[in-house]
Amino acid sequence: MVRAQPVPAHVAVIMDGNGRWATGKGLPRVAGHREGVKAARAMVRAADAIGLRFLTLYAFSTENWNRPEDEVTTLMRLLEESIYRELPELMSRNVRLRVIGRPTGVPLPVRRGIDHVVHETRANTGLTLLMAFNYGGRDELLDAFRALARRVRAGDLEPEQISEAHVGGALYTDGIPDPDLLIRTSGEMRISNFLLWQIAYTELWMTTTLWPDFGPSDLYRAIADFQRRTRRFGGV
């Protein structure tokens, strides 16, 4: 018997294809990033409208620093602008912002903006928006292993006692359930260093649609597909 799944609690999105969207229209790549911000805003509204508990958006990876300097600078400036601009709407929608990623290396004005919005929205009880920014899955695991190693060295934990809960609790996503559904746009069939530990049993949904063209109806289609799937978690 096929049992319908409920609406997923946590959807994570690899927002990919901004550059190709722009190039395909004869525009500079940064024009694609501007459109990408609009698509991200629409996604937050849609996630809120259908009652998702957690939405994680992959905005900038640790590898994205390898891009040309002017693209990185523009991305940082875009983020700084948008974060302040979105605050009133996040407040009115009761959305809480959390950031996952390493704070080090992020330009100070961007960090200040992020910290401000995280602080202002901290008591909101609706959708939790997790922004993966300067995020790398392997860095996250390294940070967790180092934290656990320090606890072992301090005599607070025995190596044999280390459980999945200890590792999960040492990740940036401490306290947040693993994603039920991972969406990737732009046709790439890879994970690109995203949430490596957390996606062990996440359902994957890939589309060739480029991120700036991805709208609420695409999210609803992904969720409807998810609801028709049978999750077995290794069982029968």
Single out the residue of 16, 35, 48, 140 in contact with Mg ion (rule: CB under 5 A).
16
Length of the chain: 236
Distances (CA, A) of 153 to 70, 74, 144, 166, 170: 43, 43, 14, 15, 16
Single out the residue of 5, 20, 118, 168 in contact with ligand IPE (rule: CB under 6 A).
20
Task: Report the residue number, 75 or 110, with the smaller CB distance to ligand IPE.
Answer: 75
* Residue 16 appears among annotated catalytic residues: yes
Task: Report the residue number, 18 or 121, with the smaller CB distance to Mg ion.
Answer: 18
Dist. CA 29–CA 40, nearest whole Å: 17
Single out the residue of 8, 19, 101, 136 in contact with ligand IPE (rule: CB under 6 A).
19
Look at residue 58 and give the partner it binds from Mg ion, ligand IPE, none, a contact being a CB closer than 5 to 8 Å depending on partner kind. Answer: ligand IPE
Task: Report the residue number, 59 or 182, with the smaller CB distance to ligand IPE.
Answer: 59
Q: Which amino acid, one-letter code, is at 215?
A: G
Q: Does residue 35 interact with ligand IPE by CB under 6 A?
A: no
Strands (E), the chain: 10-14, 54-61, 96-100, 128-135, 181-184, 203-206
Q: Does residue 70 interact with ligand IPE by CB under 6 A?
A: no
Radius of gyration of the chain (CA): 18
Paired sense of beta strands 96-100 and 128-135, if any: parallel
Q: CB nearest Mg ion: which residue?
A: 16
What secondary structure letter does DSSP report for 178?
P
* Residue 124 appears among annotated catalytic residues: no
Q: Would you report the helix, strand and coil content of the chain in percent, each value rounded to 5?
A: 45, 15, 40
Q: Does residue 82 interact with ligand IPE by CB under 6 A?
A: no
Q: Does residue 17 interact with ligand IPE by CB under 6 A?
A: yes
Among the candidate windows 53-61, 90-98, 114-122, 143-151, which touches ligand IPE by CB under 6 A? 53-61
What's the gap between Cα 88 and its chain centre? 21
Task: Report the residue number, 16 or 203, with the smaller CB distance to Mg ion.
Answer: 16
- Tell me which residues in 109-128 interact with ligand IPE (CB under 6 A): none
Dist. CA 27–CA 69, nearest whole Å: 18
Q: What is the contact surface with ligand IPE in residues (CB under 6 A)? A: 14-20, 36, 58-61, 63-64, 75, 186, 188, 190, 192, 211
Catalytic residues: 16, 64
